[in-house]
Amino acid sequence: MSSFNSILGVFLRESKIHYRSFFHILSIFLFFILSIIIFVFAVGSNKELFNQIGVGIIWTIILLSNTLSIKKFFQNDFDDNSLIIIHMSGLSYEIIALIKMLTIWMFLQAPFFIILPIAFLLLEMQFDNLKIVYLSFLIGSVIITCISAISGSMNLLNKKNFSIGGLIIMILSIPVIIFGVNIVNVSNNIELINAQINILLGIMFFFLAISPWASGLCIKISLQNK
């Protein structure tokens, strides 16, 4: 029961922190919308072109938006030793990482479900593909969150060049973009859609399995060398 109370307490703490960081979260979504608008102005109004490359544009900007939130994972708690205090309450670093992944997904990934239709509208894309994009994003966003957690924990001692964390996310997320875009391209073939979804699900379960352990290990090493 005490472990459950500790988990609930950390979850509520993380939720309050994200709620108070409203303007930081808002800036991420504004970055997404403004990037879409820039593409529209740069390319011009071309429905056929955007129906072909629009999903790729959306996935790429989502990925870039996620690189802005790497420090939200562990860096602030690492700098003020909050991670140690939370660990002393009886929670392992792996559980702490898992809780942070959940709250990050809730506050930084889930709102994209509201913003995606706006992106479709700006790019003048066919709304018939929105359901498929929602499905691929539901899976892909979990993968990106896991990758971001690993990247954030790996760079806790990196004070000079934090762009390496963004680079790690971009490299490891390439399969997500490939299969996320291909799902729309094969939207007329149910068998190919199922195959792409199964591959994404496999990638998601793989990262869900290793991310808490990898993040917890990186946190321990970073605290030992702080």
Per residue in 21-47, pLDDT (tens digit) is 778 788 888 999 999 998 888 887 777
The total of other beta-carbon atoms located within 10 Å of residue 159's CB is: 9
In this predicted structure, the answer to whether residue 93 has a pLDDT above a threshold of 70 is yes
| Per-residue pLDDT tens digits for 165-217 | 677 788 888 888 888 888 887 777 788 888 889 999 999 999 999 999 999 99
**Burial label, 7 (beta-carbon count in 10 A; 0-12, 13-18, 19+):** middle
pLDDT the model gives residue 201: 94
Q: What percentage of residues in the chain have a pLDDT greater than 70?
A: 95
User: What whole-number distance in Å separates Cα of residue 104 and Cα of residue 195?
Assistant: 28
